[in-house]
Amino acid sequence: MKHYANILFAVFLAAGLSTSKANTTVDYTFTIHIGAFVNAKLTDFENIRPYGYLYTQKFNNLLQIYMGDYSSEAAASKILTEVKKNGYPDAFITRRKLDDGEPGSVIQLGIEKIGSNIDWSYYIQAGPLQAYQDGKDVKIVTGPFENLEIAQQRLIALRQIGFEEAFVKNVNTVLLHEVTEFETGGIATPTTYETIIAPGEPAEELVIAEIPSKNKSTVPDLMTRKKGLSKKGGILKEEARPKTYEAVIVPKSKPATPVETAPAPVAKTKAKKKIASKTLASPTIRPKVKRTSVLRLQEVLKQEGTYKGSLDGYYGAGTKKGFENFYAKDREIRKYRLLSEIYSEEESETNEVQEIIDEMENDMAIGVSKLKNHKSPLSKAYQAYGIFKLSGKNKETDRLMNQAIKESFSNNKMKNKAPFDYKATYSYSSYKQFIKHLRYIHSASEDDIAVPCWLFENHKQDAIAAFDPANELTSGDYKIQDCGNILNWESLRLLKTIMMEMTPEPDKLSKKELAVAQSKRAGLILFPQAQSVEDYKKIDAWNTKLWEGLDQWATADPLHQRFMKPLKIAYFQSWALLEDHFMNQGLSPKEARGLSLCVLETIVDPYLSRYY
């Protein structure tokens, strides 16, 4: 077993901890980084297993071994002393923000003592596993599931096959660690949830509905059942693949309780986040604010028969219920909801450098160490930032930044003259100068690396001065991360999916146009402020023009009509949600109306501008 000592990790982290002792609060969870290994087995760590739960994360073909979590730095430090005594002198403490997680609905399967030999062959019957340390115990769970209802449905099936003491609970997803073959001692772990039949249950055949996709190899299976197989308990196997959405049917077997005509989604774990920026919670729509967005939504719902009230523009109980009924039962909406999940899985992941930069806020020392393996100017610039953050003014920061500047500009054929003397040698003593030069490197870089949201969150004034001197993050020569990840809101994800289906070749959309739209959206989310009267009139006119153009397009061909109903539902619901998001930031309903339309413009324009 080859051990790669992580001395540099410890040096940088020690520097960071010495300047931030006040941060050891309940807002963080602490783990111990044992080391990085080419090949590692759980049995290699028998001498330290009694001190904590060991888990692994893979990076650059190396297994990063961790122990924990611990609720305080003091608790972790006590264990770290024992770990170092037992042959791991380079081990060190890392921390993660609890706020970066979210309550995840999981099913707790059992509790084991730290250091005990866990019977993983028993637990893997439940599906993909996660585990987390709680004091001297290891709690083993399956999930997290998309919502509480799915978790409860899965719980019923698990109890039928022997997990009688299992129960549903919420756990912060930051604390959950995926169980892999390292943790199980070589036992293969499942990666998907399969339908379970309890022993003695009437057998049924699994029917898979094939969903049209631009990349069928990545299409998930939507499962329903019909009578026919062995009565032996176990996992149902795929037998047939109907070729249309019509094959998505209600189970023919008599249900114990009434069920909706919509197929139940397959339970599955949430995909790992590809971006480190926090996803803003979708707000609750205020029932006592009269608005155009709700009025337009009511018009569609009333036309479809799911809303019986008056067209008053208030999102009351009747409107809410009408939307929920239509959203759950309409065939076109159900189709696009499923496709939105597929497109989310098909989206390309960020490159390795982007992932490291995005995650640096969580562990600056590890980020610095990882960036040492990359040689691009932006890799060096963010490595310099991390060292500056951990250690303050120092020669290594100056060396890396000056190197990054020269490499960015010396071979760059700029349309305009460089905004500063890139041949000079600079010394950095403040974030203001550092971030200003970081912005120049982003502008000159040929790498597709977005400016991370945490840079604006941690250095608001300096970042705005550097990247946003004209109060609009849309220069086009750099890209900002999709701050807030509001496209993860269900209605906005649905809206994007419908627009992708309306776009002949969505993969060929202008990357620059998408980047500018994303940067503008980031500015609206990060720094919301009331518009001028002129800007308000412009965005209101845009909204009117959009729907005039779409309505005209829809009447030109009856086939176009199938897009309009789900498009309107997704757009007007999203509009109302965005209004409440901005009202939650302290803006008036009118100010929120304009800003929410501006956000929608950044989402809609790249896809639908040809329609108006």
pLDDT for 195 equals 54
Indicate the angle between helix axes 431-444 and 377-391, nearest 10 degrees. 170
The DSSP-derived string for 225-285 is: EEE-S-SS-EEPPEEE--SSGGG----SSPPSS---SSPPPPP-PPPPPSS-SPBPPPPPP
> Which residues are registered as beta bridge partners of 97?
28
pLDDT in tens, 156-165: 889 888 888 8
pLDDT for 412 equals 64
Cβ 375 vs Cβ 445: under 8 Å: no
Nearest to 24 by CA among 100, 77, 82: 77
pLDDT for 38 equals 81
Nearest to 114 by CA among 53, 68, 165, 197: 53
pLDDT for 245 equals 30
pLDDT in tens, 326-351: 999 999 999 998 888 777 655 545 58
Domains and CATH numbers, the chain: 3-100 (3.30.70.1070), 103-184 (3.30.70), 196-247 (no CATH), 292-348+484-611 (no CATH), 352-447 (no CATH)
pLDDT for 559 equals 77
Distance, CA of 323 to CA of 308 (rounded, Å): 11
Please list the rounded mean pLDDT of every run of 10 residues in the chain (612 residues). Answer: 38 38 62 88 92 87 88 93 92 89 92 91 91 94 89 88 88 94 88 57 33 31 30 32 30 32 33 49 94 97 94 96 93 88 61 90 90 93 93 92 90 61 90 92 85 90 76 58 87 93 81 84 88 94 95 85 92 97 94 96 92 82
Burial (0-12, 13-18, 19+ Cβ within 10 Å), 482 = buried
Backbone dihedral region for residue 268 (phi beyond 0: left; psi -120 to 50: alpha; all else: beta) = beta
CA 143-144-149 angle, 5° bins: 95
pLDDT for 292 equals 97
